[in-house]
Structure 1
Amino acid sequence: MSLNDVENPMDSAALDAALTAAVENVHRAGIPGLFAEVRDHDRVWRAAAGVADVTTGRPVTADLRHRVGSITKTFTAAAVLQQVERGRIGLDTPIGRYLPELVPGARGAAITVRMLINHTSGLAEYLPYAYPSLRALPVLAETGPQSLDDHRFTRFEPTDLIEMGVTAPAVGTPGGSPGVYSNTNYLLLGRLLHQVTGTTAERYITRNVIERAGLRDTVFPTGPHVDGPHSRLYEAWFGMIDPPRDYSVYDMSWVGPAASLISTVADLNRFYGMLLAGKIVGASSLAQMQRTVPMVSQEGRTIEYGLGLHPMEAPGQEVFWGHGGTVWGGGALAMIRADGKRRMAVAVNLQRWNRLDSSGSPRPHPVDDALAALYRVAMYG
């Protein structure tokens, strides 16, 4: 469906052509398949390019379900803020008051719920400890993909993963700046939701965030498969898996309420629209979500990060809010303009496409520039 503006059809046609070309360029740059949706007021544009299965040639379509990775964090943060609004959780209350067995002693007394949500807790990422071949992270050249295969069907207990992160050497002091991105924080938030609601985080988020937003194709997985039409997910791990391997069948207990959601680009755009309209959390909670601090991302870049949201803007342009996410083989980005009127969601079925240079740093790749161009036209075109 193209953007259809009866008041200015020439502008609409130009944007439609630019978006379609940008999606095709990402595919030509090396992504097997991708799909996107852009909304501008009541106008909708959707497109897809490439294949969902490199073996059969099955094409991608814009309505496919997809593993959206850490976009899940916005859902989890919103659920926690709902409980803050009800007085069951204090944003600046130490996590040790709720979960002393998981974060004991002085650290439990120093790390607040807010610090977990905005990644300033200082708690380490558990992933290199759960996946031994990634133990050398963030030194990419010394990692390997073997653990990805070893744990395809492993059912992790969240408390075991949390213990790995809590007992690992700290990556900062509680409340320190900049914070360091860590999935340990969001597994703890999942346990916190369980503690105060009496039900699993996944069930609470489903009933009070996903269903409240009216999302029809957004679910937490109950097994290793993606139910419904979906793409295969191809992981290259910086050229160490060649050709890239399909990880679309995978047990997602390794990330749970931090990054396991399945959704569609249409649902993501609807969710962020409902969130910024104040229909998931109240205005004061949304203001807290948009209160940012410096944080070092998993890619090693320092960005501004709020409570499950981060801003994205080009010089001289309006601010967008949202989140990105990756899993083994899949990636997604969803952003919404601060006024809620313009939204974009993009999903790709290849990850870690950059090869490494002699220093172990990812080399520039045409996909990077093509995706950046797509994001620019989707947000500001």
Structure 2
Amino acid sequence: MAWMKWALAAIAALAIPVAAQSPTQLQPARSNTAVLPVQTPTTTAAPSAAPELNRADLDAWLDGYMPYALKAAGIPGAVVVVVKDGQPLTMRGFGYSDVKARKAVDPENTLFRPGSVSKLLTWTAVMQQVQAGKLDLDKDINTYLDFKIPAKDGKPVTLRNLMTHTGGFAETVKWLILYGKKQPVSLRTALTRQVPDRIYGPGEIPAYSNYGASLAGYIVERVSGEPFDQYIERHILAPAGMNHSSFRQPLPANLDGLMSKAYKPGTDEPQPFEVIALSPAGALSASGADMGRFMIAHLNNKLLDPATAKLMYAEANKPFSGLPAMALGFYHEDRNGLTIVGHGGDTVFFHSDLHLIPEKNVGLYISMNSVGKNGSAHALREQLLHEFTDRYYPAPQRMLATAPTAKEHGAAMSGHYVSSRAGGFNWFRAIALIGQTTVAVDKDNYLVASSITDPSGTPRKWREVGPWLWQEVNGSDFLQAIPNGKGGVKMFSITPYAPIIEFVPAPASLNAGWILPVAGIALLVLLIAAIGWPVVRAVRWRYGYKSDLAGRPLLLHRLTRATAWVFVAVLVGWFAIMMMLQSDLSALDEGLDIWMRLLQLLLVVAIVGTAVSVWNAWTVATAPGRHRFATVWAILIALAAVFVAWLCLDLGLLTTSLNY
């Protein structure tokens, strides 16, 4: 099963592009964001005197932090911009935008791809239309569309749902990305060719959605009467003075030569331009200086009036009382007693973060042109915010006493969890099976969640300090769960993330705790049956041994072994598709459909063969004089075939639609 786990983990990364955070990236660094229960702290660390946030101190600090961090991470280039009081405080380029040409990053002119930070422009456009009275945050979005988004559980989707990622849409990756100077399809076509499954009712469970953000962009296009990219140019880029930015794909000629090269870890070979079909979710290209201008425009109310901006930054969805809330489009990243709103963003190659501290009139932006070694860009950008706030706005850390319910609630939390950002009923369910988080309790009644690790990859430990609230052991992050009223939990999350992707208990039909061990045994049985068939025939031929099977029993025996081979072919075929996608995301289009249909046809043959294997087991078991081992082995093969057939169906490998 190791090869399968590795392959599916690689495919899980396909959900990351144009997203803010992926389920596999829920590994935050230290934060002080939780609203804590009233208790006497066991320890309090007083903050040291903070240096003044000025350019001289900031540049000196960045010069000591960024070059080493980028080199250690294997990231060729980055841009960092800090704004304060309506002016750029510093705009710094680090490393190279073109490694081979030794071209340095220019913060004013070098363009980066900020990924899902692009959504902030989309959400700002929505709020402009709300401000103008053309949009209502709480109306059915079908009011503004020329196609229909069906209601779920009797509830329509609203713009408020889209802006808080509670529309209930499944994740989709087909047609996710193209490479090079290709013209994407129209925004309407991108939205209507694949309407995602609805896996939650509106407002029920946060589930980050690029589709939902792109719906919002199309709604702006509809009510404004302007194409989306043109609307952004006229009403956001121009007012903010962002002359080195565009949503257009491919880039206009005057900007094309300014685009930073993109790099895979460990190589100096530049990668092609990424074309995002769901453009409002992540298609922006912008210089660092322009992103500074965007932050200033927000902080100085150049794009929205003060009341609308206040509404946009306010807490709009806060399912966890002790963790950050979701604003309208912005994440709350509150820390050290400060209200901080922002957004993260990733394409395949570029990785970015934007943070606003409205009460200080300060903004911080970083973008990098590679994910770096072991995905280190994610940790680097998170740590930058934490180090920045701890340096210039320090606050005491509070360590709370262990709650008396630690053992009871730890037992309730133990189990397997999947990401709320899930696919619909298609082959991407396999990722949810393989990529599950396991929560357990150690001898000290500390929680340990397998996927929530420190920079070394070691799972972090959590100590309950209040009802269903855990604090990181020797740290300041928090983990909180919502009980389901039945002795278990509905979902849990961690700081510093806003509620966009949650951990939800794996259902029995998708619980890796029992499925993976059984699947391993079943696959081993089928593999032995498949390989053993020609081996036994060869041995018999070599020694002139003739089987006593004949007629129908012989036919059933052969068909059963052939079924095992068909199952092996199905699994090898899906493995090959995964490897293809790992090396070329542009294969996420109709090009794979024919191969998927062939694999589905093979699966149908295997399912029919499963019935034959059951018939064979019955024939062997009821035949007089058959050896007990032959009977047990025939039954094992039949049971293995039945289980693998069920698993393939349960994982969505046989569907009428090839949208995923």
Name the TM tier (shorter chain): 0.7 to 0.9
Q: Secondary structure at the match of 1:285?
A: helix
Q: Secondary structure at the match of 1:48?
A: strand
Alignment partners' CA distance in 2, 1:61 and 1:158: 32
Q: Secondary structure at the match of 2:75?
A: coil
Give CA-to-partner distance per residue, 1:335-373, whole Å, 9 cap, x none.
Answer: 121225222111100027426xxxxxxxxx4x5554344
Per the alignment, residue 77 of structure 2 pairs with 33
- The alpha carbon displacement at 1:376 in A equals 3.1
Per the alignment, residue 190 of structure 1 pairs with 217
Code of the residue aligned with 1:28 in structure 2: it is: K
Alignment partners' CA distance in 2, 1:97 and 1:265: 37
Give CA-to-partner distance per residue, 1:73-100, whole Å, 9 cap, x none.
Answer: 1111111111112221111000122225
Please say if 1:171 is aligned against 2:217: no
Per the alignment, residue 274 of structure 2 pairs with 250
Higher RCO by CA contacts (8 Å cutoff, separation 6 or greater): 1
Give CA-to-partner distance per residue, 1:103-147, whole Å, 9 cap, x none.
Answer: 145689610111112211011233x2225xxxxxxxxxxxxxxx7
**Distance of aligned partners of 1:199 and 1:46 in 2 relative to their CA distance in 1, 3 Å threshold:** closer
Matches within 5 A, 1:315-330: 316-330=336-350
Please say if 1:309 is aligned against 2:330: yes
Q: Secondary structure at the match of 2:302?
A: coil
Give CA-to-partner distance per residue, 1:263-304, whole Å, 9 cap, x none.
Answer: 1222212212222322211223222212232599xxxxx963
- Report how many aligned residue pairs link the two structures: 333
- The alpha carbon displacement at 1:165 in A equals 5.2
Please say if 1:19 is aligned against 2:62: yes
Per the alignment, residue 354 of structure 1 pairs with 374
Partners of 1:224 and 1:251 within 8 A in 2: no
Matches within 5 A, 1:42-57: 42=87, 44-57=89-102
Alignment partners' CA distance in 1, 2:374 and 2:77: 17
Per the alignment, residue 355 of structure 2 pairs with 335
Alignment partners' CA distance in 2, 1:373 and 1:184: 29
Per the alignment, residue 266 of structure 1 pairs with 289
Per the alignment, residue 374 of structure 1 pairs with 384
Give ranges in structure 2 of 5+ residues lacking alignment. 1-50, 393-660
- The alpha carbon displacement at 1:101 in A equals 1.5
Code of the residue aligned with 1:31 in structure 2: it is: I
Matches within 5 A, 1:194-205: 194-205=221-232
Matches within 5 A, 1:267-306: 267-290=290-313, 291-293=315-317, 304-306=325-327
**Distance of aligned partners of 1:221 and 1:303 in 2 relative to their CA distance in 1, 3 Å threshold:** farther
Alignment partners' CA distance in 1, 2:257 and 2:153: 43
Per the alignment, residue 144 of structure 2 pairs with 98
Alignment partners' CA distance in 2, 1:130 and 1:58: 33
Matches within 5 A, 1:32-181: 32-41=76-85, 42=87, 44-63=89-108, 64-99=110-145, 101-104=147-150, 110-126=156-172, 128-131=173-176, 153=182, 155-163=184-192, 166=195, 168-177=196-205, 179-181=206-208
Alignment partners' CA distance in 1, 2:171 and 2:70: 32
Give CA-to-partner distance per residue, 1:234-259, whole Å, 9 cap, x none.
Answer: 245xxxxx64763342333x231121
Alignment partners' CA distance in 1, 2:67 and 2:352: 17
Partners of 1:295 and 1:305 within 8 A in 2: no
**Distance of aligned partners of 1:287 and 1:46 in 2 relative to their CA distance in 1, 3 Å threshold:** closer
Give CA-to-partner distance per residue, 1:156-204, whole Å, 9 cap, x none.
Answer: 34334323652x3323211113x11111112111221122111112111
% identical equivalent positions: 24
**Distance of aligned partners of 1:48 and 1:232 in 2 relative to their CA distance in 1, 3 Å threshold:** same
Deviation larger for 38-47 or 321-330: 38-47
**Distance of aligned partners of 1:130 and 1:48 in 2 relative to their CA distance in 1, 3 Å threshold:** same
RMSD over equivalenced CA pairs, Å: 3.1
Alignment partners' CA distance in 2, 1:43 and 1:104: 45
Alignment partners' CA distance in 1, 2:243 and 2:191: 31
Per the alignment, residue 4 of structure 1 pairs with none
Alignment partners' CA distance in 2, 1:172 and 1:158: 25
Code of the residue aligned with 1:321 in structure 2: it is: V
More helix by share: 2
